[in-house]
Structure 1
Amino acid sequence: MAERVTIERLGARADGIAATPDGPVFVPYALPGETAEIAKDGQRARLVRVVDASPERETPFCPYFGECGGCATQHMRHAFYQAWKQDILAQTLRHARIEAPVEPMIDAHGEGRRRVTLHVRFPDVRSPDVRSPDRAMHVGFMAARSHHVIGIDHCPIAVPALRQSAPRIARAIGEHLKSARKPLDIQITATRAGLDVDIRGHGPAKDRDRLGLVDLAAALDLARLSLHGDVVVERRPPAILMGRAAVVPPPGSFLQATERGEAVLAGFAVEACRGAKRVADLFSGCGPFALRLAERSEVHAVETDKGSMAALDRAARTTQGLRRVTVEARDLFRRPLLAPELNAFDAVVIDPPRAGAEAQARQIAASKVPLVVSVSCDAATFARDAAILMEGGYRLERVVPVDQFKHSPHLEVVGILRREPVSNRRQ
């Protein structure tokens, strides 16, 4: 039975929050001030109908919005969306007792997401729950908080090279591998040379299937096709520009979500490190910061993934005009660079995964490095690690939110921290 509620505020995941006799209820796609009819399921609810709409509501531009779990905020007017997202960061900093002005948010969506992961699922025909009309292959994105696949034929937030072609390519691969009926996750990346595709979930393929994939890659004009990171065929090196360097990342390796986002984040790092002779780039990936920093400074890049380190090293060696770049494959969670090692650098750039880098932050805090550029995709872990650095004598000079993951609750954060003179530190 539907229940009528008033939405009081937005949560950090973009859900509307309503107060009820049973406690707060989280309602996706509802906005503050709205009266809505909902169907409750514990502390969560499904939005049945908006009775009185907020003036901040607008019509989503994607026909799959509300079903596909990829976007959460297309129903918000842009100015409202920006203010909400920026306020989440400000609240997170306050909660960590960090006093720092948050600069205006930068829109870094650019042309759109340059990588998507589509899911291919085959219902289990042996299951009594499967009805004959629903035995077809499903290709698309996951529904929010679900493993159910929402079939799509285009994605309007992807770059033009992926918007319509990515679902078509995923479907063709699913058809080719359907005899195994295994759940497939197909990652497709737009590169300078065309599309780079990595298939996960299938496991080892028979020679016949691999040869068929080679033919399929040619028919689809793919630059590279890989299976669990193992290259099946590379018809053209799938290079991505990072500054003046052309990098061929390992299949399925980490990349910033948008080309514009990478350029904005790297721009802050390069500008902050101007004048630094030696820079450490920690959690460097395949070099989006290191290769740009090397146009002015010597760089030591550290990353767990050996394939990414090899790609960065190749790009640095084959690009003219760069300063010396050294690479080190090292697990910075288990073996962070120690304070004496860090003291050899004029600046540190750090861009860890969502979990942050608490152990590495403690070593930086104990070092004498004068400048830290902290980049994070999670406001909470950014605040935690920044607090560690500030306790160690750094001043948080700038905090810049960068909206690389537009239409989602996710936000990139750049922090510039400088070591304060001992005389200026709080007693």
Structure 2
Amino acid sequence: MVDVLALLAGLGLGWTIALGVLAESSGSLSATGGLLTAAGRIAGLVAAYSMVVVVLLVARVAPLERAIGQDRLVRWHRKLGPYPLFLLGAHAILITLGYARAAHDGVLHQLWELIWTYPGILASAVGAILLIAAGVTSYRKARRRMKYETWWTVHLYTYLALFLSFSHQVNTGASFVGHSTNRAWWTALWVGTLAVVVASRVGVPLWRSLRHRVRVVGIHPEAPGVVSVVLEGRRLDRLPVGGGQFLQWRFLRRGEWWQAHPYSLSAVPTSTRMRITVKDLGDHSQGLAAMRPGTWVAIEGPYGAFTPDTRRTDKVLLVGAGVGSTPIRAILEDLPEDTDVDVILRASDAPSLVLRDEFAEHLHRRRGRLHEAVGHRDRVPLDAAALGRMIPDIADRDVFVCGPDGFTEAFVHAARAAGVPRDQIHHESFAF
């Protein structure tokens, strides 16, 4: 899947560059400012194509998310995201310099002329500002200082930015003016991207929400600062969801209906019930404990590749730290009955072992084993030596781990040191 996508993306990039090159002639290149203008046009084309790829990576296409995993797609999105912005900057600078040299004009005056007299340039400039805002808020330091809702809203403007820039591309781009085939291909690319985004982010979620008619029926405390939200609906067992996956939840109440938040299922859905278990981390999660039963819920998903389907053996170690135990609980329920299961639950104190009694009940029925690692990590380490004593055959098991990023990274390192092959370690980051 990854190789096929990379091939298609590479072919598209090659054709995009070819559009820019073929639009030039020896006369245009040798004219005053011609090389600068040509380079600017190619930079603009590549920037636009790159933005399409960056958007599609996080378009929430369910088969893509299931095959690759949302965390990998988001990681690729973050790595590629800055390059369209750099190319947009190069496009604006090179085009302005090229036009200024051709007109024997000053750079600032030429920039003013471009913005106010050329069709679509002003809208594109506004779009570029919106894209820069989305890019700046994606940097880790900026993201940590922002509420999820603010970050999410800023990123919605990415779609507006792309819309504003499209008319400028096809109406003034040298590769498209007078070239109907090129224009048709470029339009199909952008309209196709729009169709994928609308279908994945609006169409399918709307259809599933109307079909399953999910609403809140109960709120139950599970641990200090942790509550389970019990939801009721129709034909919920027909959702194409596996243990360990998550959905985007939109609770339809005043002031929050427009916000979607990612929460993992903490139990495999039945025909009429499903459940999420959430820790109070501020922002949206803080208000879930006070939510009224009867609140309607719109759903989007499921997403993620953190499921039992990825295991390679019939022996499994499940590891959950804090509220990270919730998808682990769903994975445990979704494993075949003949699976040999060990579970490690990590918490700073016993009351913080989320869903501990449910784990114990399931493992007793399965004849599995529950290990509780309670206390400060210095006193109760989960290093390679400790894992070897706790799970002597750990190297023969598939390991599923979920928890805070720091814990997950450290545990993966310990598991590798304990002999677990890399392809038998499964984890997925749920951070955005």
Q: Give the TM-score taking structure 1 as reference length.
A: 0.38
Higher helix share: 2
Which of these two proteins has the greater Rg computed from alpha carbons? 2
TM-score by length of 2: 0.38
More strand by share: 1
